[in-house]
Amino acid sequence: MKAFRVEVRVMPRATLLDPQGQAVEHALHALGFAEVTAVRIGKHLILEVTAPSKDDAAARARAMCDRLLANPVTEDYSVLVEAA
Amino acid sequence: MKAFRVEVRVMPRATLLDPQGQAVEHALHALGFAEVTAVRIGKHLILEVTAPSKDDAAARARAMCDRLLANPVTEDYSVLVEAA
């Protein structure tokens, strides 16, 4: 078993409204950052995982996303694995 | 002016407790993902920004982090700029 560092990015689906992102966009405009034309906000998770191989670590991380970390209706996720 | 896509990652500082990450780690263990040894959770923002150059877009994004997007006491951030 080896240790891996898994980076998971969970973002609201592109076709859905993102009220949190819109609120931050308005706040940035109010602070003078007029050059911002869109903001979307999601989660970034860093997991430390032990697994026999990099592929196994990625498969388990995707299973965690499907079970808990991402909402399959409203969110998309991506998984990046590197040796710890 | 060109359009850039700026990815911002905001994470709790490594030296600080991350109660949200700990809660997710416990939930993953309860679901049978015993191979997870640590979880940290932060934010991932995707900004669309217009700027004269990539360097300008990165500088403005760092200013946004310092002013609004990250808490300088408890969080670290990284900025990645690519052409939109």
pLDDT-derived band at B84, boundaries 50, 70, 90? confident
| pTM tops 0.80, yes or no | yes
Element (H, E) at A40: strand A36-51
Q: How many interchain CB pairs under 8 A, A with B?
A: 98
B35, B41, B51 ranked by CB distance to A60: nearest: B35
How much is the ipTM here?
A: 0.91
Give every strand in the sheet of A2-12, ordered side by side: A75-83, A2-12, A36-51, B36-51, B2-12, B75-83
Interatomic CA distance for residues B49 and B65, integer angstroms:
14
Residue A49 DSSP SS3: strand
pLDDT mean over B16-42: 97
Geometric angle at alpha carbon B53, from A77 and A10, rounded to 5° = 10
Interatomic CA distance for residues B56 and B49, integer angstroms:
10
| Count, residues in chain A | 84
pLDDT mean over B40-44: 98
The values of phi and psi at residue B15, to 5°, are -85, -5
Contact list, A16 vs chain B (CB under 8 Å): none
- pLDDT per residue as tens digits for the range A24-76: 999 999 999 999 999 999 999 999 999 999 999 999 999 999 999 999 999 99
User: What are the residue boundaries of the structural domains of chain A, listed by start?
Assistant: 2-83
Interatomic CA distance for residues B61 and A24, integer angstroms:
13
Asked if A36's CB is within 8 angstroms of B64's CB, the reply is yes
Interface of chain A against chain B, CB under 8 Å?
Answer: 1, 3, 9-11, 21, 24, 27-28, 31, 33, 35-51, 60, 63-64, 67-69
Topology of domain A2-83 in CATH is Mth169; Chain: A , (3.30.1280)
Cross-strand partners of A9 = A44, A78
- pLDDT per residue as tens digits for the range B4-26: 999 999 999 999 999 999 999 99
